Amino acid sequence: MEDLLFYLFAFVVIGSASVVVLSKNIMYSAFSLLFTFFGVAGLYVLLFADFVALTQIMVYIGGILVLIIFGVLLTTKITGVDIKSGTTGKVQLITASVVVVIIAISLILLFTNVEWVNQEFVQPNTTIDSIGFAFMTKYLLPFEIAAVLLLIALVGATLIARRK
């Protein structure tokens, strides 16, 4: 059953991600990101990372995706550009393909060459406790730096909004 679900989610992720890339309509791309994010959240759940999965839904779907859609809606309205993106040029196509192929090959090499250690799997009862402890002990500095960064961004955004 887990395998079935995994392939289902993987199919959703890959299918919607290809729509994101291939669609000529920016709105379609933006909205199929919803399914991509959702599928990724599903994969996290299958990895017993429930907290990360929920954060994925909350931050990426509830926050970032909404911002992206808002951005698409607002910018096209302001500049009057057609919402459908033009066909990609030859140059971009070739460059992108080369980069993608290089990354894919290196990833495949990485997966085949590394000796993976198969650990006895214990289903964690809850992940949130360990995440909390890790944040507050071992990773306190990165955690605090991220918090300060977000605060700076917040203050900066308020400042920009005020100046108008």
Question: What is the smallest separation between the CB atom of 24 and another protein, expressed in angstroms?
Answer: 13
Residues lying near another protein in the complex (CB under 8 A): 27-28, 31, 34, 50-51, 54-55, 57-58, 61-63, 65-66, 69-70, 73, 125-126, 128
Q: Tell the smallest beta-carbon distance from residue 55 to another protein (Å).
A: 8
d(CA 51, CA 65): 19
Q: How far is the CB of 39 from another protein (least distance, A)?
A: 14
CB 16 within 8 A of CB 29: no
Q: Work out the burial of residue 37: count CB atoms within 10 Å of its CB; fewer than 13 is exposed, 13-18 middle, 19 or more buried.
A: buried
Copy the structure tokens of residue 106: 């290196």
Residues in the chain: 164
Closest distance to another protein from the beta carbon of 89 (Å):
26
Residue 10 vs 73, nearer CB to another protein:
73
Nearer to another protein (CB atom), residue 114 or residue 122: 122
**Which residues are 84's β-sheet partners?**
25
Q: Is residue 7 packed enough to be buried (19+ CB in 10 Å), middle (13-18) or exposed (0-12)? A: exposed
Residue ranges of E strands in the chain: none
Nearer to another protein, 10 or 49 (CB): 49
11 versus 103: smaller Cβ distance to another protein? 11
